[in-house]
Amino acid sequence: MKTGAVNKLLMLYIPGMDVRWLATDHTPYIASLFETFPHTTTTSYPSVEQLSTVITGMRPHEHGIWLAKLRPRSRVTPAQRLVDVLPDIVTTTAQCAAHRIAKCCPMGTIPPRRRRKLHFEKMKFYGRANTETLLDELASHGVQDSLLSALGTDRCHYTFTDRFADREWLLRGMGRGCRLEIVQFHALDILGHFYLETPEEFHAYYSEVDEFVRRVHEKCQANGMTMVLLSDHGQERVTRFIDLKGALRALEVAEDDYTIFMESMKARFWFHTDKARQVVTAFLSRSEDGTLVSYQEMHRHHVEFPNADFGEVYFMAHPGAVFFPDDFFHPVVNLYFGLKEWEKRRRLRNPRLRGQHGYLPIYPSEQGFMAVLNRQFMVEGRGMELRDVAPSLLELLAEPIPPFMKGTSRFHR
């Protein structure tokens, strides 16, 4: 280890912690950290998932995990034709059951005739996860390069939980003695999706997270670790619901003339006829519910796919609006998660999101922050991109930054 470098680093990664909510008296400890230590805002990518970039130091088109990709067209078999005459609710329920039981069939909520046209690249953990789970997940998407490969898996550790009550469990496990520990506390993000409609209640959870941050910081100080606090985005309170599927059905375009994949804040399209392209894009560009963005225009937002494989155009909802129902909604799945996890219990009363993110990164809800709780370091410039997080961590540890990381360190001694 070089002299003056940080010996051990612990990054507490809290997705969805909104910088706008930190300017209140509900988070006195984090406010005091911001007064004392170097920190800067981060800009994310128009997606609900940012871990793939945080862990690899690459933009989405560099690591390739960007949810849905169009498969080359293939002939529909007689068996598939038979399945296609069944009602969607029957086939999607069967697919969701197959996903739950056999862990196969990703995106089971999409009917088979549309699902077989798409290939899915999606990072998602439920419950708890660790280094091994993360490595398996990256490998399943063909990604070998990450912070873990740069440092060596025996020198770092990753822990994930989406359970709010796991704070004590996380604290007990911290201080493993390795060079880099990443602890992803995902529960605040989940709560935001279902509690932003009642800000008073949501504030109370911020207070508990503030106390958790204080205890993690104290544990780091007692163990000679430098702590990093990271949030990758905030969340916008949802006040508008758009029935995009219904609106598209009302257009005079056959369903087979285009393929759509719809998240709640982003719908992507691939067109198979000129007429479909013309009618659908004319409709979307007139809409007041969102912004139509071609894949080339997406380059401005640091998602630079060279072709339309991952989407020819994107219809991005305006902050505070969501498409409902989207391709993730299924009544049985909603019931399952609503009964299983108290963080999502409000889904039972109403399945619609109360908070959302992943909008175009020009909006305040897409800002996060990175703070290095070590006064020997200074932050360079104002604002950073999420792909700069991984090289920044390596710089703090005075470790070489591998060539696959295209970002730069924003924290220097």
Q: Give 49 or 62: the residue with its C-beta nearer to Zn ion.
A: 49
By the rule CB under 5 A, 232 interacts with Zn ion: no
Q: Specify whether the CB–CB gap between 231 and 16 falls below 8 A.
A: yes
What separation, in Å, do the N-terminal and C-terminal C-alpha atoms of the chain show?
A: 15
Smallest gap from residue 235 Cβ to Zn ion (A): 7
Smallest gap from residue 325 Cβ to Zn ion (A): 18
Residue span binding Zn ion (CB under 5 A) among the ranges 84-92, 182-190, 247-255, 260-268: 182-190
Smallest gap from residue 6 Cβ to Zn ion (A): 30
Q: Give 189 or 366: the residue with its C-beta nearer to Zn ion.
A: 189
Smallest gap from residue 259 Cβ to Zn ion (A): 25
Smallest gap from residue 238 Cβ to Zn ion (A): 12
Q: Specify whether the CB–CB gap between 141 and 64 falls below 8 A.
A: yes
Would you state the structure tokens that stand for residue 114, as one six-digit string? Answer: 């549309």
By the rule CB under 5 A, 343 interacts with Zn ion: no
What 3-state class would DSSP assign to 247?
helix
Q: Give 188 or 390: the residue with its C-beta nearer to Zn ion.
A: 188
Buried b (16+ CB within 10 A) or exposed e, 118-129: beebbbebeeeb
Smallest gap from residue 16 Cβ to Zn ion (A): 6
According to CB under 5 A, which residues from 145 to 164 bind Zn ion?
A: none
Q: Give 189 or 343: the residue with its C-beta nearer to Zn ion.
A: 189
By the rule CB under 5 A, 189 interacts with Zn ion: yes
Q: Which helix (H) or strand (E) segment is 53 a member of?
A: helix 51-56
Which residue's Cβ has the minimum distance to Zn ion?
Answer: 189
Task: Please state, in angstroms and rounded to a whole number, the distance separating the CA atoms of residues 139 and 22.
Answer: 36
Q: Give 62 or 343: the residue with its C-beta nearer to Zn ion.
A: 343
Task: Please state, in angstroms and rounded to a whole number, the distance separating the CA atoms of residues 183 and 174.
Answer: 8
Buried b (16+ CB within 10 A) or exposed e, 61-94: bbbbbbbbbbeeeeeeeeeeeebeeeeeeebbbe
Q: Residues interacting with Zn ion, by CB under 5 A? A: 189
